[in-house]
Structures are given as C-alpha cells and as structure tokens.
Structure 1
Amino acid sequence: MKAIVYVGPNKLEVMEREIPEVKEGQILVKVDRAGICGGDLGIYKGLHPRAKAPLIFGHEFAGTVEADGKVFKKGDKVTINPIVSCGNCTPCNTGNQHVCNTLRLVGIDKDGAMAEYVAVDENKLYKLGANVSDEMGALIEPIAVAVHSVREPNYRPGDNAIVYGAGPIGMAIALVLKEFGCTNLTVVEADDKRIGIAKEFGVDVRDAKTLNLEELKAEKTGGDGFDFVFDCAGVEPVANQLIKASKVRGKIVVVAGYKKPTTFPLNEGMFKEVAFEFVRVYRDKDYEIAIEVANKQPLFEKLVSHVLPVEEAQQGFDLLLTPGTGAMKVLFKF
C-alpha cells in the first residue's frame, strides 16, 4: 500500500508499505481522506519528542471498514478517536482518560492513517452517517478538539467570546460556539488570506494588525471585556493580549500549543481574578457531539482548502509550512 512516511527531520517519503496486520480487537479500515494536523507538522520538523522515524503520519481521517468486526460491518463509513489511554492511572480511573499519564496517539506513537489502510482498535471507531462526505469525516477529529475546548470550561449559551487565530481550530471553535448559542462572537487574525476565508463563515473578523482592543471591548462588551477568550494562535503578541481582552473573572482558554516559551502579564491576571484553562484533545462525549454538529452544520467543510493525491504529500506539507498561502486544512485522497 502507499503511505506517507516521516523519515527524518524535514523529510518525508511516499513509499510502499505492507498492509498492517489486524490484531485481536482491531479492524482494518480503507482510508478515504486523511488530514494534516499541526502535530504532524511538528513531527515533520523533528520537534515531537515521542515520534520516531520511520513513522506513517496521520490521526485525522475518514475511511471504510474492510471486513466485518464485532460491531462494525464491511462498508461502514467510520472515523477514529486516535488517543490511546492506559486505563489504570489516576486520570483514567477518575474519568479523565484524555489526559492519561501515559497518553499515546495513533500517528505519533504508532503508525497512523496517511496510508491506504490502517488497523485500528474497533472500540475507538465511530460510525459516520451515509450522507457525511469523506472530507467532513476527516474533520471530525479537529471538530472534537473544538467541542472539547468549548465544553470543558463550561461555556454557556449567551456568553460572549473572542477567538484569537482563524486557522482550522480557531474557525472550528467559532462554528461550535455559534452552534452552542454564542451570538456575540469576534475572531481576530493577522493573515490577510485567512481573514478573507474567515469572513466566508459569517463571523465578525477583525484584523490583528490594526486592532484597537479597548475600542473592540467597548463596542462588543460595553468595555467590560469578554466572558471567554480562546487562544488558538500560540504566539507572544497574542499572549500579551489575552488578559486584557478578558472581563473581570473571565475565562482564558489556551488551545494552541506554544512552540516557544512565552510570558503572560500575570499581575494583570491577578487584578482581574481571571481563570486560565488549558485544554488537550477530547473526551468520548466530545467525539459524539462533533459528529452531531458536523451533520447539522455544512460550513465546517469550508475548513478544507486543499484535497491532494498522496503523490503530492510534500506539496501538502509545504502549503501549511509556508506563510501567506492561505492554506487551512489540507487533506490527502487515497
């Protein structure tokens, strides 16, 4: 089978690999679409501490079951929850398997789904509706990240929110917020092409390069600041604005993974008694809700900017690693 393989820092190859062996409790899935995640970019750069070459990339995918399992049948359209928890540590035993002490992921700690076939644990599969497109199916994982980011800090309908960063996760969070009843929503982005794309989602988008935060707060919150501040950017200039954007006793939700150490004006946080909440991946319930909202909201599919053949793997990664391309979610077609 063809597979996109990490072979070393800043190196990938499209190569022939053996179809994976199906072990007890697993099921073989024929991959239809697989997406590039920010985590995959980190692996490609050689920055992920656990990913070891050679490794097949990919944990965002949709596919078709190849043979009957105990629950799933041949031909079922599916996606996967790619996290692997130990089931024995304190987080796992207290309902927090998504932050297991030894959390592992398909496509990072074991071969992933950027291949024609992938063998996965059947109990991690989710059935997709017959009307769900291959592209939408491959978006369920990032949508689940967005659902988790909104549910975990207890967002309530009617709360206002500001989202920094109009990349795939930022825009997925914006759409989930709208589905959850947010009518006072602002997205802030610096990249001109992404600003243009974000406007197609029907949200209020502001250019970070010319933003006057105090004027925005006065306009959207009467000067109080936002109930929820979502950081989907992960860069120093945004880190310096998060507390300023928050209301007194507001919630700042850090979704982005910071590539470099950063500083926060913590005294400002103390004066306002803001709460920082950091989120990671998703719970099983978040996955179920992600599938529900994907079925209801076709705008999610606009997150996909490119669908490329597997032979153009290098181009796909380059699109996301090159500033100014406007690339959002890049999928590979198998």
Structure 2
Amino acid sequence: METIVYEGPQQVAYREKNSPQAAGGEVLIKTSHVGICGSDLNIYAGAHPRAEAPLVLGHEFSGTIVEGHSVLPQGTRVTVNPLLKCGTCLPCTTGQSHVCKNLKLIGIDCDGGMGAYVTVPQENVVALPDSVSLAAGALIEPIAVAVHAVRQGGYVPGDGIVIFGAGTIGLCVAQTLRSYGAADVTVVEPNEHRLQKAAELGFTTIHAEKDDIKAEVLNATNGAGADFVFDCAGHPAVLNALTDIVKVRGRIIIIAAYKKPAELNLLQGMFKELSIQFVRVYTDKDFQIAADLLAKHPEFERIITNVLRPEEAERGFQLLTSNMDAVKVMYKFK
C-alpha cells in the first residue's frame, strides 16, 4: 500500500508497505484524506520526544470502514479520535482521560493515517455526519482542539476576542467562536498568506510585524483591551503581548505547545488580575461536538489550502516549513 513515512529528521518519504491486518477489537479503515499537523512538523524536525522512525505519520484523517467494526457496516464514512488512553491512571479513572498520564496518539506512538489503510481501536472510530465530506472529516480533530479550548476557556457570547496565529488551530478557534456567537474576532499573524485567509473568512486582522498590535487592540476596544486572548502561535514574542492587550480581569487561553520554557509577565498578570487557562487536546465529548459543528458549518472546509497526492510527501512538509504559504495541507489517498 502507499504510505508516507517519517525516516529521520527532515526526512519523509513515499513508500510502499504491506497493508495492516486488523486484530481483535480493531477496525481496518481505507484512508481518504489526512492532514499535516503541527505535531507532524515537530516529528519532521526530529524534535518529538516519542516518535521513532520509521513511522507512518498522521492523526488527522478520514476514510471508510473495510472490516472489523461490530456496529458500523463496511463502507461507513468515518474519522478517528487518535487519543490512546491507558484507562488506569488517576485522570483516566476520574473522567479526565484526555490528560491521561500515559497518553499516546495514533500517528505518533504507532502508525497513523498517512497510509492507504490503517488499523485503529474500535472505540476510537467516529462516524461522519452525512453532510460532512471526507476532506472535511479530516478536520474534525483540529476543530475538537478548538472546541475544547473555547469550552474550557469559558467564552461568553458578546465578548471580544483576539487570536494569535492564523494556522489551522487559530482559524479553527476563530470559526468555532463565531459559531458560538462571537461577532468581534481579531486574528494576529505575521504571514501574509495566512493573514489573507483569515480576512477571506471574515475576521479582522492585524499584521504581527507591520502593525502596532497593542495600539490596534486598545483603539478597537476604547482602551479597555480584549475580553479573551487565545495563543495559538506558541512563539515567545507573543507572550509579551498577551498580558498587554487583554483587559483587566480578562482571560488568556494557551493552546499552543511551547517547546521551551518562555517568560510571561506575571507582575502585569497580577496587577490586572488576569486568568490564564492552559488546555490540552480534547475530551470525547469535544470530539463529537466538533463533528456536529462541522455538519452545521461547512465553511470550516475553507481552511484547507492544499490537497496533494501521497507521492508528493516531501512537498507537503516543505509547504509548511519553508514559506508557510499554506494553512491546512492534506494528502488524498486513492
């Protein structure tokens, strides 16, 4: 079968491999679409602490059931919740399994969806709503990240939002907030292509390198600052702005994964009595909400900027690591 394999730092390759066989409790899925995630880029850079080559990448994917599901018939269109939980640690046994102490992911700790076929535990399979395309189905995982951040952050309709980062997660957060009733959403981003995409989707934009972010936000809020600020960028330079532009007693939501310790102005946080919420992945309920949300809001699919053939394995990663003139890059398997 066709696969895209991580073979070492800065090395992904198109390879033919034997198709996997479903064991007991597993479902064999014929892959349709699979997206490149920030975690995949971290693996590609050789910086992920768990991913080991050779590895079939991919944890954002959709496809159709071939065999193995006890309820859903062959041909059912599905996506996959990639979280693999131990089920025995304290978080797992107290209803917080998304922060399992031994959490693993399909496509990171075992072969994932960047192959023509993939096997996954039955409990991880989620049927797609009828109105959701297979391409859009591969977006449910990042939308679930956004849903979790918005729900955990305590967003209240009517509050003003600033989002740092116009990548997949940033734009998913923006669109999720809009679906929840947010009318005032501003996206901050240095990349012209991504900034243009945010504008095309109807959001107010601020160029992170050309505009005065603080002045723009304060001017738009009559000097008060934003009610909520979401960090989807994960860049140390962003942290300097977070506490500056949020209002007194405002909320900061950290979604991005910082690879190294970074400085945050805690004194300013104290003086303004800010709330800072850290979030990680999503719950099973968030994942289902994301699927239902996508069925009602097909415009999420506009985040997809490139759909490539598996043979273009290297090109997909180059699009996201060189000029970054793409948002969501996917591969489509036959």
Is TM > 0.5 for Structure 1 vs Structure 2?
yes
Match of 1:65 in 2: 65
Between 115-124 and 259-268, the greater mean CA deviation after superposition: 259-268
Structure 1 residues 185 and 261, CA gap change in structure 2 (3 angstroms):
same
Query: 1:243 corresponds to which letter in structure 2?
Result: T
| Residue pairs, 1:48-87, within 5 angstroms | 48-67=48-67, 69-87=69-87
Amino acid in structure 2 at the alignment position of 1:72: L
Question: 2 CA distance for matches of 1:42 and 1:189?
Answer: 20
Structure 2 counterpart of 1:274: 274
Q: CA deviation at 1:296?
A: 1.3
Q: Report how far residue 130 of structure 1 moved.
A: 2.9
Match of 2:304, as an amino acid? Answer: V
Deviation, 1:216, is 2.7
Offset of 1:222 from its aligned partner? 2.4
Matched, 1:185 2:185: yes
Percent of counterpart pairs with the same letter?
A: 47
For 1:196 and 1:167, the matched residues in 2 are separated by 12
SS of match in other structure, 1:50:
coil
* Structure 1: runs of 5+ lacking an equivalent: none
Map 1:132-151; keep pairs closer than 5 Å: 132-151=132-151
What is aligned with 2:325? 326
Q: Secondary structure at the match of 1:240?
A: helix
Deviation at 1:68, TM superposition (A): 5.2
Please state whether the residue corresponding to 2:330 is helix, strand or coil. strand
TM-score when normalising by structure 1? 0.97
Counterpart Cα distance in 2 of 1:217 and 1:129: 38
Quick check: 1:184–1:220 contact (8 Å CA) kept in 2? no
What TM-score, normalized to structure 2?
A: 0.97
Query: 3-state SS of the aligned residue for 1:98?
Result: helix
Aligned pairs for 1:182-331 within 5 A:
182-323=182-323, 325-331=324-330
**Cα deviation digits, residues 75-115 of structure 1 (max 9, x gap):** 10000100011111111122110000010000111111100
CA distance in 2, matches of 1:220, 1:34: 39
* Backbone CA RMSD of aligned residues: 1.2
For 1:87 and 1:68, how far apart are their aligned partners in 2? 22
Shift of 1:213: 3.6
Residue by residue over 1:266-294, the C-alpha shift from the partner in whole angstroms, topping out at 9 and shown as x without a partner, is 11111111111111111011111111111
- Number of the residue aligned with 1:112: 112
Q: Partners of 2:17 and 2:68 in 1: how far apart?
A: 23
1:122 CA displacement: 1.0
Q: What amino acid maps onto 1:49 in structure 2? A: P
Contact 2:57–2:112 at 8 Å: present in 1 too?
A: yes
Q: Which amino acid aligns with 1:329?
A: K
Distance across 2 between alignment mates of 1:235 and 1:254: 11
Number of residue pairs matched?
Answer: 333
SS of structure 2 residue aligned to 1:148: helix
Q: Cα deviation per residue 1:169-221 (whole Å; 9 max; x = unaligned)? A: 10110000000111121111111111111111011111122333443333332
What is the CA distance between 1:41 and its match in structure 2? 0.7
1:48-78 Cα shifts (integer Å, max 9, x gaps): 0101111110000010000252121101000
- Three-state SS of the structure 1 residue aligned to 2:67 is coil
1:6 aligns with 2:13: no
Distance 1:238 1:60 in 2: 27
Moved more, 212-221 or 301-310: 212-221
Q: Confirm or deny: 8 A CA contact 2:10 2:46 kept in the other structure.
A: yes
